[in-house]
Chains A and B, each alone.
Chain A
Amino acid sequence: MNDSLTKNSVGIVKPEKLHFNNSLELKSGRVLPAFDLIFETYGELNASKSNAILVCHALSGDHHAAGFHSSEDKKAGWWDACIGPGKAIDTNVFFVVCPNNLGGCAGSTGPAVINPETGNFFGPDFPVVTVSDWVNSQAMLADKLRISKWAAVIGGSLGGMQVLRWAISYPERLHSAICIAAAPKLSAQNIAFNEVARQSITNDPDFCDGRYLEKGTYPKRGLTLARMVGHITYLSDNAMRAKFGKTVSDFEKEGDNFGRDLRDGKLSFGFNVDFEVESYLHYQGERFSKNFDANTYLLMTKALDYFDPSSDFNGDLSKAFSVSNCKFLLVSFSTDWRFPPERSREIVNALLKTRKEVSYLEIEADQGHDAFLMPIPRYTSALKSYLYRLQDEIENNAP
């Protein structure tokens, strides 16, 4: 943590954990008899409890969305660019809650914690959880925090899917749904990438049928590979060219080298790492594999694959939204090819069809899917203005 990073930061934050004794019936039919949710909060809940915002995390995210865990902490929370005093989600105005989802590996009940019934890690025995299950557990958390209606539920990517599910499952419990860089359901291409990731994990000999923690190991190679594949889908071609195209090599003396920076300045004529992009992916994948649980990765990708709120309505997404009672803001990014603008427009059109209040922004951005995490001025000012306006409306319409 350094001074420049702490400017407009929520500062040092401490996660909280709540235990839920009430059982949670999951979409799969299985039941979690009890569970824990770990979460962080930023800002102050006002007296009328009308300024609460729920932030939902994406595939590899967790409850640590903003600020730092200690003064030595070098890395801020995953959405620190947008959450803090004076930022897009202004903690001077709003009380922000961000939980780690069930099945996660950052402190909420999931495959990497001990199953009290067996005394052993849940591991592969942890039930498959869906976006609906997460939203149900988040509603239970809202009950405990005595928040009857969120000012906004916000999330990007898989987080955006939770936002949509909130608007459908709990229409009276949110004023607005802010869904960023998401899709109404995964395409075959999306599912294909997820399956490659799952196969690389489950085929790693160290996966041990998911019982690697009992054996004191983890599927490092498989998880690294899964993250490498995933990471590519988060970036745009242009973003990669820019990131790995900084030097002028012997081969392309003039201008753009298409992101083909060499690691050692020359080709090896072997099967080693030649290009910077390769070394970057290895590094990112390996780092991820040390900090993330492989079973959680499998669960998260399944939650993505299974998400389809239209499935209860013969594939008609607008019918799924017909019960919704909140305002919607959708945002997409021009170079996002994982969940491109067309996918957000599908949601917008379904909302229009069922006559909901909806706004939609298509932000020009070079960063691909990852753009939703970045402080892109047009994006953050729109988010900030929308939320300020919303808070004014809530305060003025309050009975």
Chain B
Amino acid sequence: MRPDLEIIQKWIEPKSRVLDLGCGDGALLTLLKKNKRVDSIGLEIDAANIQHCIKNGVNVIEQNLDKGLSNFETDSFDTVVLTQTLQALSSPDKLIEEMLRIGKRGIVTFPNFGNWRSRIYLASKGRMPISKFMPYQWYNTPNIHFCTVKDFDELCANKKIKVLTRMVVDAKHKRNLGIGILPNLLGETAIYHLTRKKKRN
């Protein structure tokens, strides 16, 4: 099992309603259906992924996240999940707001661009970092909005979003003492559990 999915699973209440934005082949929702008996919908645009979802019995709707989520009602889900997709969105800030309008809680995971590898790559080579996890050139990458853990913390503060839990982990999705002290430098993947600070009127 993907280690980030294991972490996310712990934050999902049994029999709750889950919306997975960019659900891929439906791996997370299949897991949650089996282990938590959730009522779920996934959004996806890749045809092969959608076919996988159908095959796996995952409810999937072909919908482009960049065109917004206005078709989803306020407070219609318990949790809205966005894994490893934030950096590929045209307006990640607006989508985070939408996630917390539609869901009571949100879970966001993204690759931490503040990681020391990216920093050293840029500092020493003077070029946009390319790695096993980010194998694209700057001109053809789908990842158009990279951010660091610090950047995301600031976005949450500005948007009055409460961070329930923040896990920053290494490539194997493990935590260690170093990451605990210097998450933005040593962490490779950030996993956030979010909610709204204030109740809407």
**Which residues of chain A have a CB within 8 Å of any CB of chain B?**
327, 345, 348-349, 352-353, 355, 357-362, 378, 381-382, 385-386, 389, 393
What residues on A are CB-neighbors of B41 within 8 Å?
352, 358
Taken together as a complex, chains A and B put the C-alpha atoms of A114 and B51 apart, in Å, by: 49
Question: Which of these, A348, A355, A389, contacts B61 with CB under 8 Å?
Answer: A348
Q: Quick check: is B50 within 8 A (CB to CB) of the other chain?
A: yes
What residues on B are CB-neighbors of A385 within 8 Å?
51, 54-55
Min Cβ gap B174→A in Å is 35
What residues on A are CB-neighbors of B62 within 8 Å?
360-362
What residues on B are CB-neighbors of A348 within 8 Å?
61, 71
Min Cβ gap B83→A in Å is 20
Min Cβ gap B152→A in Å is 28
Cβ of A359 and Cβ of B39 under 8 Å apart?
A: no
- A sample of 18 more A-B contacts (CB under 8 A), given A359-B54, A359-B60, A360-B61, is A349-B71, A352-B61, A352-B71, A352-B76, A353-B73, A353-B76, A357-B39, A359-B53, A360-B62, A360-B63, A361-B50, A361-B54, A361-B62, A362-B62, A378-B51, A382-B50, A382-B54, A385-B51
Min Cβ gap A363→B in Å is 9
What residues on A are CB-neighbors of B56 within 8 Å?
389
What residues on A are CB-neighbors of B47 within 8 Å?
378
Q: Quick check: is B57 within 8 A (CB to CB) of the other chain?
A: yes
Tell me how many residues of B have a C-beta within 8 Å of chain A: 20
Interchain residue pairs A-B with the least CB separation, the first 3: A349-B71, A385-B55, A360-B61
Which residue of A is nearest B50, CB measured? A361
Taken together as a complex, chains A and B put the C-alpha atoms of A381 and B54 apart, in Å, by: 10
What residues on A are CB-neighbors of B116 within 8 Å?
none
Taken together as a complex, chains A and B put the C-alpha atoms of A348 and B61 apart, in Å, by: 8
Taken together as a complex, chains A and B put the C-alpha atoms of A360 and B41 apart, in Å, by: 11
Which residue of B is nearest A388, CB measured? B55
Q: Quick check: is B17 within 8 A (CB to CB) of the other chain?
A: yes
Cβ of A386 and Cβ of B54 under 8 Å apart?
A: yes
Taken together as a complex, chains A and B put the C-alpha atoms of A77 and B140 apart, in Å, by: 47
Q: Is the interface of B mostly helix, strand, loop or mixed?
A: mixed
Among B78-108, those with CB < 8 Å from A are none
CB<8 Å pairs between A and B, sample of 28? A345-B71, A348-B61, A348-B71, A352-B71, A352-B73, A352-B76, A355-B39, A358-B61, A359-B53, A359-B54, A359-B59, A359-B60, A360-B60, A360-B62, A360-B63, A361-B50, A361-B54, A362-B62, A378-B47, A381-B51, A382-B50, A382-B51, A382-B54, A386-B54, A389-B55, A389-B56, A389-B57, A393-B57
Cβ of A359 and Cβ of B61 under 8 Å apart?
A: yes
Taken together as a complex, chains A and B put the C-alpha atoms of A201 and B125 apart, in Å, by: 76
Min Cβ gap B113→A in Å is 33
What residues on B are CB-neighbors of A360 within 8 Å?
60-63
Cβ of B54 and Cβ of A352 under 8 Å apart?
A: no
Taken together as a complex, chains A and B put the C-alpha atoms of A111 and B21 apart, in Å, by: 51
What residues on A are CB-neighbors of B59 within 8 Å?
327, 357-359
Which residue of B is nearest A387, CB measured? B54
Min Cβ gap A121→B in Å is 47
Residues A389 and B17 in contact in the complex (CB < 8 Å), given A353-B73, A359-B60: no
Interface centre among A345, A352, A358 (most CB of B within 10 A): A352
What residues on B are CB-neighbors of A386 within 8 Å?
54
Min Cβ gap B56→A in Å is 8
Taken together as a complex, chains A and B put the C-alpha atoms of A357 and B41 apart, in Å, by: 8
Taken together as a complex, chains A and B put the C-alpha atoms of A104 and B66 apart, in Å, by: 45
Min Cβ gap B129→A in Å is 34
Cβ of B51 and Cβ of A389 under 8 Å apart?
A: no
Cβ of B51 and Cβ of A352 under 8 Å apart?
A: no
Q: Quick check: is B72 within 8 A (CB to CB) of the other chain?
A: yes
Taken together as a complex, chains A and B put the C-alpha atoms of A132 and B28 apart, in Å, by: 40
Taken together as a complex, chains A and B put the C-alpha atoms of A389 and B54 apart, in Å, by: 8
Min Cβ gap B54→A in Å is 5
Which residue of A is nearest B71, CB measured? A349
What residues on B are CB-neighbors of A349 within 8 Å?
71
Min Cβ gap A349→B in Å is 4
Taken together as a complex, chains A and B put the C-alpha atoms of A327 and B72 apart, in Å, by: 18
Cβ of B55 and Cβ of A355 under 8 Å apart?
A: no
Taken together as a complex, chains A and B put the C-alpha atoms of A49 and B57 apart, in Å, by: 22
Min Cβ gap A164→B in Å is 17
Min Cβ gap B53→A in Å is 7
Instruction: Report B21-62 CB contacts with A as 1/0, cut-off 8 Å.
Output: 000000000000000000101000001001101111101111
Taken together as a complex, chains A and B put the C-alpha atoms of A393 and B54 apart, in Å, by: 13
Taken together as a complex, chains A and B put the C-alpha atoms of A381 and B51 apart, in Å, by: 8
Which residue of B is nearest A346, CB measured? B71
Taken together as a complex, chains A and B put the C-alpha atoms of A286 and B169 apart, in Å, by: 70
What residues on A are CB-neighbors of B55 within 8 Å?
385, 389
Residues A352 and B72 in contact in the complex (CB < 8 Å), given A359-B53, A385-B54: yes
Taken together as a complex, chains A and B put the C-alpha atoms of A382 and B58 apart, in Å, by: 12
Min Cβ gap B5→A in Å is 21
What residues on B are CB-neighbors of A381 within 8 Å?
51
Taken together as a complex, chains A and B put the C-alpha atoms of A7 and B51 apart, in Å, by: 26
Which residue of B is nearest A362, CB measured? B62
Taken together as a complex, chains A and B put the C-alpha atoms of A358 and B63 apart, in Å, by: 13
Which residue of B is nearest A356, CB measured? B59
Taken together as a complex, chains A and B put the C-alpha atoms of A348 and B41 apart, in Å, by: 12
Which residue of A is nearest B43, CB measured? A360
